[in-house]
Amino acid sequence: MSAKPIRNVPFHRPSIGADEEREVIDTLRSGWITTGPKTKRFERDFAEYVGAKHALAVAHCTGALHLALFALGIGPGDEVITTPFTFTATAEVIGYLGARPVFVDIDPGTFNINPARIEEALERGANRNVRAIMPVHFAGQACDMDRILAIARRYDLKIVEDAAHAVGSARHLEGRGMVRIGTIGDLSCFSFYATKNITSAEGGMVTTEDDGLAARIAVASLHGMDRDAWKRYDQSGSWFYEIHDTGFKYNLSDVHSAIGVAQLKRAGEFMRRRTATARAYNEAFRSEPALQTPYVEPGVDHAWHLYVLRLRPEQLRIGRGQFVDLMRERGVGTSVHCIPLHLMDFYQKRYGYHAGDFPVAEDIYSRCVSLPIFPGMSEEDVAWTIESVLGVIRENRR
Ligand SMILES: *Cc1c(COP(=O)(O)O)cnc(C)c1O
């Protein structure tokens, strides 16, 4: 290849600015750096943002998912239906409680859990101990919640939404109109990991409309103490605390919450920028026969956490692995979402899953590639990414 001008576009760069710096310095200088007033504020702001009655800040989405299942009383011998096309955290937490993840295949258009496959798993009768469904709003596209709610009602199941990709995403629901993710299932769990739609460096949030579940999570997220145990170091506080239940150390510090408070104010702007980039990619790639652009269902506000492009291998002399390498040579960072969990050593050994179990997830995995779509991308970054994708395709057409 001749020497070409290279523009480096990382797969992701967080958008941290003066507001985040100001909030963090404010917290550092306040004399209170762990869970306290800034975390309360982050919870209030987030509850308002999604329209939820309760929002509980925790250390990460993994902890949020763990606490959600714990609060529902999921335990040994129980089964939880979820998707294999997700990050390991979704299914990992089911194992924390001694329960079993029951994977079902995904929809080939949205990559979300396929409600028809959920019904099959329940009707087959092989899974008699299913207590809950954990849909993942993959890439920021909300799942078909009308159908999942109907299934949950029919089989008396709880719903814990893995909303790690879904800050800002919404879906049209029967009888409710457009509804932001966070108030649909029994509990919704969000991530503020560095690469997610908004970040607090590390962090998570559980939302629910249920007072009892909220109270249980508040206590369990800090060693089983009263929620306001942190006040014991305050002037108003007392040295005494009681342990009410099994607990975990999942509280979020005020330093992290400070970043989150500033980021949440920018969530709308971030989503607009991500959407504009997705639109530019769709325009550029739609008519290229070797590429398949993402499908978006009607009635969905996609949050575009990820932009997942599919290659059509029958049109190309290269596979996905080489595509990633050639993009890197042009200075563009890409990634792959997701490696299906049932192909991983741990899930095969522990739960007996095999390659071939979920053909739709495997087909998508074999040819998907995630392009950069962070809100701080410049127009030149987007243009260079498009030019690089089309260049690699042109040079490697069959
Ligand atoms: C990132 C992610 C998680 C875990 O989030 P953390 O905040 O890092 O614990 C869970 N589920 C999905 C689908 C994710 O992408």
From the CA of 264, how far away is ligand 1's center (Å)?
18
pLDDT score recorded for residue 148: 98
Q: Is residue 53 among the annotated active site residues?
A: no
Q: Which two tokens stand for residue 25?
A: 């310095």
Confidence of residue 5 (pLDDT cuts 50, 70, 90): low
Mean pLDDT, residues 363-392 taken together: 98
Which residue in 293, 300, 264 sits closest to 277, CA to CA?
293
CA distance 241 to 224: 10
Nearest to 304 by CA among 134, 142, 86: 142
What pLDDT score was predicted for residue 238? 77
Rg of the Cα atoms in the chain = 22
Over residues 248-276, the pLDDT tens digits come to: 999 999 999 999 999 999 999 999 999 99
Q: Which of 304, 308, 309, 306 is nearest to 267 (CA)?
A: 304
Which ligand 1 atom sits closest to the C-alpha of 64? Answer: 9
User: Among 192, 193, 221, which residue has the most ligand 1 atoms within 8 Å of its CB, making it the best to mutate?
Assistant: 193
Q: Output the CA 2–ligand 1 centroid distance in Å.
A: 40
| Nearest atom (ligand 1) to Cα of 136 | 13
Return the percentage of the chain with pLDDT > 90, whole number: 91
Residue 245: pLDDT band by 50, 70, 90 thresholds? confident
Within 6 Å (CB) of ligand 1, which residues are found?
60-62, 86-87, 89-90, 136, 162, 164-165, 191, 193, 204
Position 39 scores a pLDDT of 98
Alpha-carbon gap, residue 272 to 360, rounded angstroms: 30
Shortest-distance Cα residue to atom 6 of ligand 1: 61
Tokens at 97, concatenated: 């409680």
pLDDT tens track for 339-358: 999 999 999 999 999 999 99
Contacts for 260 with CB less than 8 Å, ≥ 6 apart: 42, 46, 57, 192, 198, 199, 200, 203, 252
pLDDT in tens, 99-147: 999 999 999 999 999 999 999 999 987 888 999 999 999 999 999 999 9
80 dihedral zone (left: phi>0; alpha: psi -120 to 50; beta): beta
* Mean pLDDT, the chain, whole residue set: 95
* Reported confidence tier of residue 231, pLDDT bands at 50, 70, 90: low
Strand order through the sheet with 187-191:
54-58, 204-208, 187-191, 158-162, 130-134, 79-82, 100-103
Q: How far is the CA of 303 from the centre of ligand 1 (A)?
A: 15
Going by pLDDT thresholds of 50, 70 and 90, the confidence category of residue 226 is confident
Mutate to test the pocket of ligand 1, among 61, 69, 304 (most ligand atoms within 8 A of CB): 61
pLDDT tens profile 269-301: 999 999 999 999 999 999 999 999 999 999 999
Residue 273: how many CA atoms within 13 Å on its side-chain side? 18
Q: Give the per-residue pLDDT at 233.
A: 65
Residues 6+ positions from 203 with CB-CB distance below 8 Å: 57, 58, 59, 60, 191, 192, 193, 252, 256, 257, 259, 260
pLDDT of residue 187: 98
Task: Report the atom number in ligand 1 closest to the C-alpha of 305.
Answer: 15
Q: Is the pLDDT of residue 46 over 60?
A: yes
Q: How close is the Cα of 203 to the center of ligand 1, in Å?
A: 10
| For ligand 1, mutation pick of 191, 263, 305 (most atoms within 8 Å of CB) | 191
Q: Considering the candidates 38, 196, 231, 349, report the single residue annotated as catalytic.
A: 196
Say if residues 271 and 168 touch (Cβ distance below 8 Å): yes
The number of the ligand 1 atom at minimal distance from the alpha carbon of 191 is 7
Using the atom order of ligand 1, give the atom closest to the CA of residue 337: 15
Q: How far, in Å, is the centroid of ligand 1 from the Cα of 191?
A: 6
Q: Which domains does the chain have, with CATH numbers?
A: 18-265 (3.40.640.10), 267-395 (3.90.1150.10)
CB 181 within 8 A of CB 137: yes
- Beta pairing class for 204-208 and 79-82: unpaired
Distance 316 CA to ligand 1 centre (A): 33
